[in-house]
């Protein structure tokens, strides 16, 4: 009779894997990719080093996996925001609110996505390019809908989308560098929204 793991065993394994991934996000954000070690990660997760290698062959594989998971999470969050509201300003504000909420409550996650590993992990180049393209796709789709509805003037929506995505990244990274980002988050969201409305040529 083949061996089958019980639900309790699977839950325990999943918990260890989740703990390692959460710890790795923090370690990579604090130390950077090169300085962080597998021992740092297992110490932060309070697991044995053998447990790490049971799930991941090396640090790079874990890092790329974390990046892709984080990218997918942020893309889904922005997409959900862009589906709310019945106008371009409303959809824009909702998406930015979602982005900034993630940034202020999970800063290590956002830093991993926007900064961590850039240029340090060759295997990350493809994943990063895909994330940037998919993020621009979301903004472009929303812009095209606003243009079709007559809310925005005709424009190169791809170029505008790429510009917005890059600008939002820079603003959020600056926000996270402040001593108390949550204290000014609401004002920053308002400024980001106003900036984006101007940049896209919106007029009431």
pTM for the whole structure: 0.83
Classify domain 59-199 by CATH number: 1.10.357.10
C-alpha separations of 44 from 96, 106, 143 in Å? 32, 17, 43
Give the residue among 161, 204, 168, 166 at the shortest CA–CA distance from 189: 168
Q: What is the pLDDT at residue 138? A: 96
Per-residue pLDDT of the chain (204 residues; tens, 9 = 90+): 444 545 555 556 678 888 898 899 889 888 888 888 999 999 999 999 999 999 999 998 998 888 888 889 889 999 999 998 889 999 999 999 999 998 898 887 787 777 765 666 777 888 888 999 999 999 999 999 999 999 999 999 999 999 999 999 999 999 998 999 999 999 999 999 999 999 999 987
In DSSP notation, 111-139 reads HHHHTTTTTT-TTHHHHHHHHHHHHHHHH
DSSP 8-state secondary structure symbol assigned to residue 35: T
In DSSP notation, 66-99 reads HHHHHHHHHHHHHHHHHTSSSSHHHHHHHHHHHH
Q: What is the pLDDT at residue 116? A: 62
Classify domain 1-56 by CATH number: 1.10.10.60
CA angle, residues 142, 145, 151, in degrees to nearest 5: 105
Q: What is the pLDDT at residue 155? A: 97
Q: Which long-range contacts does 174-182 make (Cβ < 8 Å, 24+ apart)?
A: 175/100, 175/103, 175/104, 176/103, 176/104, 176/107, 176/110, 176/111, 181/103, 181/104, 181/107, 182/104, 182/105
Q: What is the pLDDT at residue 113? A: 76
């Amino acid at each position: 009779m083949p061996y089958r793991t019980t639900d309790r065993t699977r839950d325990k394994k999943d918990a260890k894997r989740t703990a390692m991934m959460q710890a790795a996000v923090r370690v990579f954000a604090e130390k950077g990719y090169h300085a962080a070690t597998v021992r740092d990660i297992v110490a932060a997760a309070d697991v044995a080093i053998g447990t790490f290698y049971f799930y991941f062959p090396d640090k790079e594989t874990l890092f790329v996996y974390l990046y892709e998971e984080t990218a997918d999470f942020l893309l889904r969050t922005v997409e959900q925001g862009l589906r709310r509201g019945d106008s371009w300003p409303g959809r824009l504000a909702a998406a930015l609110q979602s982005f900034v909420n993630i940034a202020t409550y999970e800063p290590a996650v956002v830093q991993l996505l926007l900064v961590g590993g850039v240029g340090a992990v060759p295997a990350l180049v493809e994943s990063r390019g895909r994330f940037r393209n998919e993020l621009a796709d979301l903004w472009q789709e929303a812009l095209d809908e606003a243009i079709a509805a007559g809310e925005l003037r005709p424009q190169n929506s791809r170029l505008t989308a790429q510009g917005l995505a890059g600008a939002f990244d820079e603003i959020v990274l600056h926000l996270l560098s402040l001593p108390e980002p949550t204290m000014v988050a609401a004002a920053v969201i308002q400024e980001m929204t106003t900036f984006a409305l101007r940049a896209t040529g919106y007029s009431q």
